[in-house]
Amino acid sequence: MRILLVEDDEKIASFIIGGLRQSGFAVDHAANGLDGLHLAATEPYAVAVIDVMLPGLDGLKVIEELRRRKVNTPIIILSAKRSVEDRVRGLETGSDDYISKPFSFSELLARVQALIRRSSSVSEPTRLTVGELSMNLLTREVHRGETAVQLQPREFALLEYFMRNPGKVLSKTMIMEHVWDYHFDPQTNLVDVLVCRLRNKIDRDWDRKMLHTLRGVGYVLKE
């Protein structure tokens, strides 16, 4: 899932982006209100996290304009302002949640996940299962049968993507844009390397293989 962060403070932005990516999200970042408005209005996001004090266009005006344009992306406000009046004003603009700075990343992550669950037409699953593979999205544990599989964050994100799309062929471009945050470069072998690492962990010690390569097309996870 892709998150939009609109935050002009480089340190705070780096802190949030790093945490969200480690948690399996793709993140787009805008450092001013105008760029944030453009991205939020033209790209689909699971959640937008928007600071109030932004150059170009402040965060509340960004949110008001998005709601005027009927953009229904769930929005969390970040603000150094902590009074009840500021919280009420922020929520009245059309935001869905409000977090005061300073904040812990675990709190932000929990609120992002809660908004995603609330905005989904069906409850966001906490466990994925494809054949012998099972993944707990809360504890980030993976098993094939009774065997625990230890994955690095990027490997986990890739496997989650496959498990959310079982039987569907995923191209290198789709994987690059989902697991990394940039468009596919035909000269890179990042996808091949990551798929190879994942295959070694979920397939190597089993006779029946689950992760398959369709040369020139992409990869597919099958039961």
Q: What is the pLDDT of residues 198-213, one digit of tens each?
A: 999 999 999 999 999 9
Residues 6+ apart with CB under 8 A from 115: 47, 74, 76, 96, 97
The mean per-residue pLDDT over the stretch 17-38 comes to: 91
DSSP designation for 57: S
pLDDT tens digits, one per residue of 52-96 = 999 999 999 999 999 999 999 999 999 887 777 878 887 888 899
Amino acid at 154: R
CA distance 122 to 117: 8
Residues 6+ apart with CB under 8 A from 158: 175, 179, 194, 195, 198
Per-residue pLDDT at 184 exceeds 50? no
CA distance 50 to 33: 9
CA distance 135 to 183: 27
Domain with CATH 3.40.50.2300 in the chain: 2-120
CA distance 85 to 88: 5
Tokens of 80: 């150094």
Model confidence at 51, in pLDDT bands (50, 70, 90)? very high
Instruction: Give one word for 56, left, alpha or beta, with left for phi > 0 and alpha for psi -120 to 50.
Output: left
Please tell me whether the overall predicted TM-score, pTM, comes out greater than 0.75 for this model. Answer: no
Model confidence at 124, in pLDDT bands (50, 70, 90)? low
User: Phi then psi for 214, rounded to 5 degrees?
Assistant: -110, 100
CA distance 63 to 69: 10
- Determine which helix (DSSP H) or strand (DSSP E) holds 194, and give its type and residue range: helix 190-202
**Could you name the CATH architecture of 127-221?**
Orthogonal Bundle (1.10)
| CATH number for the domain whose boundaries are 2-120 | 3.40.50.2300
Contact yes or no for 217/172 (Cβ under 8 A): no
Mean pLDDT of the chain, nearest integer = 88
Domain with CATH 1.10.10.10 in the chain: 127-221
Helix-strand-coil percent breakdown of the chain, rounded to 5?
A: 40, 20, 40
Model confidence at 181, in pLDDT bands (50, 70, 90)? low
Model confidence at 123, in pLDDT bands (50, 70, 90)? low
CA distance 112 to 75: 9
What pLDDT shows up at residue 59?
Answer: 93
Instruction: Give one word for 33, left, alpha or beta, with left for phi > 0 and alpha for psi -120 to 50.
Output: alpha
**Which residues sit opposite 170 in a β-bridge?**
219
